Amino acid sequence: MELQERTEMPVLLTASAAEKIRGLMAEEADVSVLRVAIEGGGCSGFQYGLGFDRGAQEGDLEFECEGVKVVVDPFSAPYLKGSTVDYLETIQESGFKIDNPNAVASCGCGHSFQVAEGEAPEEGAAGCGSGCSH
C-alpha cells in the first residue's frame, strides 16, 4: 500500500476483517458503512466502537478499504491514525482486533486503551468499564 493512501485513511482493514464485515453487512437491513470510533470509558480511558451505519454524518471521514465503505468521526480520527482492524478466528481468540500504534497501554481484555500523556480524555474512567471483565 502506498504511503499517500495510508495517510488518507486513519484505519485499515485486513482482508479477513473486510470479508467478515461484508458478510455481516449482508445480513443487516439498511446499512451501508462500517463506523469505527473511540469512546471515553473502559478501564484504560478509551474503548473502541465498531458498528454499522446507514451512511456518513456531517464531518465524518469517508473512505473505502478492501471493498468496505468506512466512516470515522473527526474526534476519533487522530486517536485511530495508523490503526488496523483485523478479524481473528483461532483456538485462543475470536473476533475483531484493533492494532493501534497510538495506544501506550491497554486493558487485559483489549477493548480499551490509553494514549500518551497530554492526549488523555478529560473524563477518565476508574476501574473497568463496560465490555471489560478484567
Q: What is the pLDDT of residues 29-49, one digit of tens each?
A: 899 999 999 987 766 678 889
Q: What is the pLDDT of residues 9-32, one digit of tens each?
A: 899 999 999 999 999 999 998 999
Residue 93 confidence (pLDDT) = 83
CATH class of 3-114: mainly beta
- Assess whether pLDDT exceeds 60 at residue 73: yes
- From residue 2, give the alpha-carbon distance in Å to each of 8, 35, 100, 112: 10, 23, 19, 29
- What's the pTM? 0.73
Round to whole Å and give the CA distance between 47 and 23: 24
Residue 9 confidence (pLDDT) = 84
Round to whole Å and give the CA distance between 104 and 28: 35
Residue 51 confidence (pLDDT) = 94
* End-to-end Cα spacing for the chain: 36
Round to whole Å and give the CA distance between 112 and 124: 12
123: cell is 473524563
